[in-house]
Chain A
Amino acid sequence: MDVLSNLALGFGVALTLKNLAYCFLGVFLGTLIGVLPGVGPLVTIAMLLPITFGLDPVSSLIMLAGIFYGAQYGGSTTAILVNMPGEVSSAVTAIDGYQMARQGRAGPALATAAIASFTAGIISTLLVAFFGPLVGKWALEFGAAEYFSLMLMGLVFSAVLAHGDLVKSLAMVVTGLMLGIVGTDVTSGLPRFSFGVAELLDGVGFTVVAVGLFAVSEIVLNLARSGPVEVFSKDVKDLMPTWADIKATTMPTLRGTALGSFFGALPGVTASVASFSAYMLEKKLAKDPDRFGKGAIEGVAAPEAANNAAAQTHFIPTLTLGIPATAVMALVLGALTMQGIQPGPAVMTTKPELFWGLVASMLVGNVLLLLLNLPLVGVWARLTQVPYRFLFPAILVFASVGNYSLNNSAIDVYLCAAIGVLGYVFAKLECQPAPLILGYVLGPMLEENLRRALLMSDGSFTVFVTRPISLVFLAVSAALLLAMVLPAVRRGRARATDDSEAG
């Protein structure tokens, strides 16, 4: 078979001692920087870029790619241990991963994150290998109308996320929307809710929101309790997932991989959308959605699988179209261009050793990451046994340094602190942070694409139904809404009759 012989060529490139070493260096660095919030793959790759000009193109690409997907592994570590997402994409992992850590199940949570990432990494890399160019072409079909309908579908899907008080959930979504709106409006170029602060013209950063909402507010909550602070369970249960855990996470991992691979291939979707959708889907499918937010292992496996799958399929538009899906991919693209390599539809035929070498190295890199991360689980898990009075100042210092280093701006640190206070208030009011993040992530994309679609269609709403992909998304949304509303109506009626009988 063609792909297999190509893969053989790729392994021939990836398994040379030199490239193996660069691959290891890349994933090792990636894991390291993934753990630290603020220090992300973007900064690291930007710093390393000048060094890579001396390397041959394949080696440098292998290393840069390793940093990128390695960071997705590392990002979950602090998310699970101390509720501080190391990377944007692992914010969702913090929701249930941290609760598992508190219950003494940090080990299984970390191991599950690593295994889910590994599985997703392998599957999505094979997807890149077999369908890369095809998927790339298909991604070009996504315009503003398609993105709008897709985001709408996501929003409808997440309506089911609203468990508990519907009004509170809606209020949180709206709060998130408002946070997301801050900054310069893409369509009109005018600032909104920036209050004359220049730093706010670019909006409130995701890391600022996530770290404030999760890590900072959690610390305040813990310290606000009277008596000795017992954040983590004293008995650390088994380090590795049990057989039951593995069974429970298999399907979520696969579903997360599918969603992540899909979103990763689209250049117009931000990284956090993939992991968030995967989380929402699992919550929808779970028999007892109430477990989510309280340490559900599926809530760790699915988003981790999704973010790592997306990290691999991001390479599809980058390599086959020359369109970078993220800022990191833009750097990778820049590195290739400077090496005289032109990514585009022809890259697989003109530079087979580059494309297939990268694909093979991603398979190798994921194995390396698993070998690197599993033994570390025990070390990390013990961190939860450090007395909280030492742990919380360290978390705050890391959170502040991380937020400051994003833009070298003190305003980001103040914002994070303010959002931390907001998060504390929300927790006291028993409002969930998840709908807020959802509104924050999806809202601005929904708005921007809606307005662009209408601008391009000269104000005609028919674009959303005349374009087939968009129509499919809208139809699915409508079906979902119906499916959601009908049982509720029926249940409501049933309850009404029950009441009347009882009365």
Chain B
Amino acid sequence: MNRRSLVAAAAAVSILAAAPFGLAQAQSGYPDKPMRLIVPFPPGGGTDILGRIVADKLTATAGWKVVVENKAGAGGTVGLDAAAKAKPDGYTLVVCQTSNMSIAPSIMSGLPYDPVKDFSPVRLITAVPLAIVVSTNSPIKSMADLVAAAKANPGKLLFASPGNATVAHLAGEYFQKVAGIKYTHVPYKGTAQALPDVISGRASFYVASIESAMGPVKSGQLRAIAVTSAKRAPQWPDVPTVAESGFAGFEAVTWFGIAVPAGTPAPIIARIDAEVAKVLDAPDVQERLNGKTDIGPAAFAALIKTDHDKWAGVVKEAGIKVN
């Protein structure tokens, strides 16, 4: 045995010996080192902004040192995979959302993680409704008009979405099923590419996050005909929900939440949950998030499951290709 492997062996033994002690320490003095919050999208996007709000506030209110790590790629699945494989010691958190937790298993055959088995959900940050918008010049003024137009010309209306298998796309497919109508899906690379076609009327209507449609609606280029949440959006009190427009029970939202790798000790999950809940309670955060949600570990896990089943059904019925 040469000297180097002897040293390595000694180091390994000492790490093994220290491990149980380290874990005990982690629970009592947690956190005793900086923790990372994986944001599975590039800086500047919606997920990143939410992640940074939570990280900054955790630093300010709990005194924790939370470092945001942008690990983008493949609709967030690369970042979630990294989180799933991280040490479950409470020092790795991840911002997850509907697409990469509840939809990805139905559309990606080679998904490298299992959203249910590999994660412990901690707390929902916010749930954002989708908006259904048309050009201001469009004759369509309500969901009833949209349905009538689609019935008059089956398959002729062009439904623009910010991308294949996004929540917006699935919501559009879902509505097609619920209303018993037919239109053609036109996917874009994102909102910026879709908006010119929607504003000019080349596309009949557009489904996207309320945030991305907010600007052109406010400036009078687009008209919002419905939101997809169960209740009206606080930003748009005058815009009816799809459910109100005659399709009771219709709901499609994009939610964002904090999760940790499965196997993280329960007391640590409870600590993180309590601190994140405090952050979300702050008035300035509530103002940014348009209201409050109170969905902790158990309820969040249930939500992931219900949404998984709902979107799996839509993917199957709409015949969306699995890759």
Contacts and interface: CB of A to CB of B under 8 A. Distances in A.
A493 B164 CA distance: 52
Contacts of A323: 192, 195-196, 199, 216
A346 B220 contact: yes
Contacts, number: 141
Interface stretch (B73-81, B272-280, B292-300, B302-310): B73-81
Interface stretch (A42-50, A210-218, A480-488): A42-50
A268 B193 contact: yes
Contact of A455 (B48, B81, B184): B184
B258 interface: no
Interface in A122-181: 139-144
B321 A322 contact: no
B73 A267 contact: no
A321 B220 CA distance: 10
B27 interface: no
A interface bracket (residues with beta carbon within 8 Å of B): 35 or more
B239 interface: no
A114 interface: no
Q: Which of A46, A191, A327 has most B Cβ within 10 Å?
A: A46
A322 B188 CA distance: 17
A391 interface: no
A202 interface: yes
Contacts of B196: 139-140, 142-143, 267-268, 321, 323
Contacts of A334: 44, 49
Contact of A346 (B158, B189, B203, B219): B219
Interface stretch (B1-9, B16-24, B64-72, B85-93): B64-72
Interface string A179-218: 0000010111111000010110110000000000000000
Interface in B213-240: 214-216, 218-221
B44 A45 contact: yes
Contacts of B71: 407-409
B215 A343 contact: yes
B214 A337 contact: yes
Interface string A406-418: 0111000000000
A198 B112 contact: yes
A189 B77 contact: no
A344 B203 contact: no
Interface string A282-324: 0000000000000000000000000000000000000001111
Contacts of B197: 143-144
Given A140-B200, A321-B221, A456-B186, A407 B215 contact: no
A147 B257 CA distance: 38
Contact of A344 (B44, B49, B81, B221): B221
Interface in A316-342: 321-325, 327, 329-331, 333-334, 337, 342
Nearest to A336: B215
A201 B107 CA distance: 14
Contacts of B48: 46
Nearest to B188: A186
Interface string B170-199: 000000000000001011110011011101
23 contacts: A42-B43, A42-B44, A43-B43, A45-B44, A50-B52, A50-B56, A139-B196, A184-B74, A184-B164, A188-B164, A189-B163, A189-B187, A189-B323, A201-B77, A267-B196, A322-B216, A323-B195, A327-B44, A334-B44, A344-B218, A407-B70, A456-B202, A456-B203
Interface of A: 42-43, 45-47, 49-50, 139-144, 184, 186-191, 196, 198-199, 201-202, 267-268, 321-325, 327, 329-331, 333-334, 337, 342-347, 407-409, 448, 452, 455-456, 458
